Chains A and B, each alone.
Chain A
């Protein structure tokens, strides 16, 4: 005959194990999520970086450490709670009650458990053997596993809630960290990406345009990468900018070619031919000019013109954005350099006439009058890095753009130097000590009646078409006196 106590004990142990498992199971998914975050955050972060949402390495490390700690803590806590659940559920009375419920024994098994429990010191009744026999008969065919089963639904529900809560917490933490550590050039990078997308979309068949778009995306990624030094960024940006200019030139040359062809076809369809600039669309313009339908040619040529103008605008915008980024990077580099100098013992060192530490690189042979276009091996950072603390720069006999002591230029009324429609770079020029000029490229005659932009000269930051510049002069005298570097004085005459 079955020993009822052994059956009760089996059920009791099974109940305790199930209770522990039931407690432990919901903790696993959140722990897995935490471990995944801990070990996979680096990989994920690389993906974010492509979007410009880079987390600083320190934040990533903290997040990983916290996630790992939380996972370990969760495992320990779950194990502790599970152990508590195991101990609490090792209750013969509760097990007997469960058997009673499942078998409909009308509290006979629980009575047996009560009177055999070590906790209950009551004397056994003379009727106890009857109870034992009845319980043994009832428990003869009982399978403990059939009366206590793992509650999957309950565990799943709890696990889901805990996982969602954990994931939400992690997401919130990451969002906060990303927001707090958004790259300083995030907006510019996004703008570059947008332009790249527009260029790529507007010229789907143009391989060069696609490459340029890819370069712009790379540039956007690059400028948000905190691990790339500013000098390298400036170099890369200079290359991209050059490519943008080259693309502009190509488009302009193509437009100029169209202009010549227009002269030939004027008699046939002046409207259509005269408007076509884009090389890709030139054929259409010619078709319009040569075709019998003058209206069609006009329409196609107008569309090509609009498209070309849009493409020029995009390139100019990209160029302007890159210039902005360069300017900011340069400013940052200078600030960093200044801070470095202060750290190195130059704190409180007042600038002296003829001293131009921040643009020391101007004196180097690789400088091309554009701070954004450093030649290789001529990085400003390197220059500054090579300079010894306290070392003064040599004055070549001119002020070199420096001001006299106490006569620092004030950023007042500088808008007057803008062209019509130009708003300038949103820079904070307050307390600026040095002003860097970007001289518009000279227009030179390329021969054959073509006017091209000298690519060896600094280019204008403002998009322009081959339209006559608006003659605009401000009659008022400038309200500030600012010294121009001697080398530019001739140019600005």
Chain B
């Protein structure tokens, strides 16, 4: 049995770009507009992170994730979070089963055991249930009755939350928000996009997305692509720039602008820096480069850090958004040249 043929690095980069763009195109055939959101969702997938999508109902969040999963050839499960949803409803549970006259407990996996899990309106579930999901997101495993079950890679959670109708909801704690790699905000479609949506959804011809990757080999292929992302190189000055952004966005950090000190209680955690750099690496690969540039980092700042800035009362009262503060940080932090 001969060794597997060595794939040239250039081919790996090209393959990544091809897979990414094809999946992006497939999703784009279903979802009108929101190209930036689609790219960030796929980026998070290839980085091994999870995404929190914020948007009002009816904007195609679920469809987008479902389409992406189908295009990638991955399994997809959707969980509608409600206040009475129990953790076991997500993680699964053991039930007593009788086989050949013997009764034994058998584990029935919950919807979390899928490659792509959509947690719809995650802020409607109780914190206990939210915690079950968030633990799985972080550990890529669940523990039920003392037994630990690993989640099959690639494990990708995409949670949505509705910014309106907050009554009776359980907003995610900051610590749990931090576990999402990106927070992506979906805005309303433009008139042209809305027209295209009508054409696609109210006519008989409904496009069925095609799988870009072979469903049998997709998980492994995606894992390989995720590995490729981590192989992208980052120069020392670029790393310092990313670190500078994190420091500047931290109220007590060196070089933080006065506005950051004035409006923030806490800044981004090291997870924010990881997310920033991983996203930048994907950006570099999508540009057929194997090294990260300053532009790649800057492109990742807002989605990777916006949910990691904990604003104080004054900022909320004055409606100072995290995006505005991050923009200020980028403006004031000069590139090391």
Interface contact B235-A129, CB-CB below 8 Å: no
Could you tell me the distance between the alpha carbons of A131 and B232 in the complex, rounded to whole angstroms? 10
Contacts of A111 in B (CB 8 A): 233-235, 238, 291-292
Is A447 an interface position by the 8 A CB rule? no
Contacts of B13 in A (CB 8 A): 127, 130
Contact for B295 among A106, A128, A129, CB less than 8 A? A106
Instruction: Specify the main secondary structure of chain A where it touches its partner.
Output: helix
Is A93 an interface position by the 8 A CB rule? yes
Task: Tell me the A94-142 residues at the B interface (CB within 8 Å).
Answer: 96-97, 101, 106-108, 110-115, 120, 125-131, 133-134
Contacts of A126 in B (CB 8 A): 9, 231
Could you tell me the distance between the alpha carbons of A114 and B289 in the complex, rounded to whole angstroms? 16
CB within 8 Å for A130 and B234 given contacts A97-B337, A101-B337, A107-B291: no
Contacts of B295 in A (CB 8 A): 106
Tell me how far the C-beta of A5 lies from the nearest C-beta in chain B, rounded to whole angstroms.
Answer: 15
A interface footprint on B91-134 (CB within 8 Å = 1, 0 otherwise) = 00000000000000000000000000000000000000000000
CB within 8 Å for A125 and B231 given contacts A106-B295, A107-B291, A131-B291: yes
Task: Tell me the B190-213 residues at the A interface (CB within 8 Å).
Answer: none
Interface contact A113-B233, CB-CB below 8 Å: no
CB within 8 Å for A110 and B289 given contacts A101-B337, A125-B231, A126-B231: no
Interface contact B236-A114, CB-CB below 8 Å: yes
Tell me how far the C-beta of A40 lies from the nearest C-beta in chain B, rounded to whole angstroms.
Answer: 46
Contacts of B337 in A (CB 8 A): 97, 101
Could you tell me the distance between the alpha carbons of A212 and B289 in the complex, rounded to whole angstroms? 93
Tell me how far the C-beta of A106 lies from the nearest C-beta in chain B, rounded to whole angstroms.
Answer: 4
Contacts of A120 in B (CB 8 A): 236
Could you tell me the distance between the alpha carbons of A113 and B233 in the complex, rounded to whole angstroms? 11
Is B316 an interface position by the 8 A CB rule? no
A interface footprint on B277-305 (CB within 8 Å = 1, 0 otherwise) = 00000000001011111110000000000
Total interface residues on A, CB under 8 Å, equals: 23
Interface contact A115-B233, CB-CB below 8 Å: yes
* Interface core residue of B234, B238, B290 (most chain A CB under 10 Å): B290
Could you tell me the distance between the alpha carbons of A101 and B236 in the complex, rounded to whole angstroms? 16
Contacts of B232 in A (CB 8 A): 125, 127
Interface contact B235-A131, CB-CB below 8 Å: no
Task: Tell me the B285-331 residues at the A interface (CB within 8 Å).
Answer: 287, 289-295
CB within 8 Å for A93 and B236 given contacts A127-B9, A130-B13: yes
Interface contact A114-B235, CB-CB below 8 Å: yes
Could you tell me the distance between the alpha carbons of A120 and B231 in the complex, rounded to whole angstroms? 16
Contacts of B293 in A (CB 8 A): 106-108
Tell me how far the C-beta of A383 lies from the nearest C-beta in chain B, rounded to whole angstroms.
Answer: 83
Contacts of B238 in A (CB 8 A): 107, 110-111
Tell me how far the C-beta of A124 lies from the nearest C-beta in chain B, rounded to whole angstroms.
Answer: 8
Contacts of A131 in B (CB 8 A): 233, 290-291
Contacts of A128 in B (CB 8 A): 233, 290
Is B10 an interface position by the 8 A CB rule? yes
Residue on A nearest B232 in the bound complex, by CB? A127
Contacts of B163 in A (CB 8 A): none
Total interface residues on B, CB under 8 Å, equals: 23
Contacts of A129 in B (CB 8 A): 9
Contact for A125 among B10, B233, B289, B294, CB less than 8 A? B233
Residue on B nearest A98 in the bound complex, by CB? B337
Contacts of B336 in A (CB 8 A): 97
Task: Tell me the B232-273 residues at the A interface (CB within 8 Å).
Answer: 232-238
Interface contact B236-A134, CB-CB below 8 Å: no
Interface contact B290-A127, CB-CB below 8 Å: yes
Tell me how far the C-beta of A97 lies from the nearest C-beta in chain B, rounded to whole angstroms.
Answer: 6
Tell me how far the C-beta of A105 lies from the nearest C-beta in chain B, rounded to whole angstroms.
Answer: 9
Residue on B nearest A107 in the bound complex, by CB? B293
Contacts of A133 in B (CB 8 A): 10
Contacts of B292 in A (CB 8 A): 107, 111
Tell me how far the C-beta of B283 lies from the nearest C-beta in chain A, rounded to whole angstroms.
Answer: 11
Could you tell me the distance between the alpha carbons of A112 and B234 in the complex, rounded to whole angstroms? 9
Could you tell me the distance between the alpha carbons of A120 and B237 in the complex, rounded to whole angstroms? 12
Could you tell me the distance between the alpha carbons of A127 and B293 in the complex, rounded to whole angstroms? 15
Tell me how far the C-beta of A181 lies from the nearest C-beta in chain B, rounded to whole angstroms.
Answer: 55
CB within 8 Å for A107 and B237 given contacts A125-B232, A127-B290: yes
* Interface core residue of B232, B236, B295 (most chain A CB under 10 Å): B236
B interface footprint on A305-347 (CB within 8 Å = 1, 0 otherwise) = 0000000000000000000000000000000000000000000
Could you tell me the distance between the alpha carbons of A60 and B206 in the complex, rounded to whole angstroms? 101
Interface contact A113-B290, CB-CB below 8 Å: no
Contacts of B287 in A (CB 8 A): 106
* Interface core residue of B12, B237, B287 (most chain A CB under 10 Å): B237
Tell me how far the C-beta of B266 lies from the nearest C-beta in chain A, rounded to whole angstroms.
Answer: 30
Tell me how far the C-beta of B263 lies from the nearest C-beta in chain A, rounded to whole angstroms.
Answer: 31
A interface footprint on B1-32 (CB within 8 Å = 1, 0 otherwise) = 00000000110110000000000000000000
* Interface core residue of A96, A106, A107 (most chain B CB under 10 Å): A107
Could you tell me the distance between the alpha carbons of A50 and B237 in the complex, rounded to whole angstroms? 65
Could you tell me the distance between the alpha carbons of A129 and B336 in the complex, rounded to whole angstroms? 26
Tell me how far the C-beta of B9 lies from the nearest C-beta in chain A, rounded to whole angstroms.
Answer: 5
Residue on B nearest A117 in the bound complex, by CB? B236
Contacts of B234 in A (CB 8 A): 111
Contacts of B237 in A (CB 8 A): 93, 97, 107, 110, 114
Could you tell me the distance between the alpha carbons of A113 and B231 in the complex, rounded to whole angstroms? 17
Contacts of A108 in B (CB 8 A): 289, 291, 293
Interface contact A106-B289, CB-CB below 8 Å: yes
Taking A97-B337, A130-B13 as known contacts, 17 extra A-B pairs with beta carbons closer than 8 A to each other, sorted by chain A number, are A93-B235, A93-B237, A97-B237, A106-B291, A110-B237, A113-B235, A114-B233, A120-B236, A125-B232, A125-B290, A126-B9, A127-B13, A127-B228, A127-B290, A131-B233, A133-B10, A134-B289
* Chain B residues proximal to chain A, CB less than 8 Å: 9-10, 12-13, 228, 231-238, 287, 289-295, 336-337
8 CB < 8 A contacts A-B? A93-B237, A107-B291, A108-B293, A111-B233, A112-B291, A125-B233, A127-B12, A128-B290
- The 4 A-B pairs with the shortest beta carbon distances in the complex, nearest first, are A111-B291, A106-B293, A127-B290, A111-B235
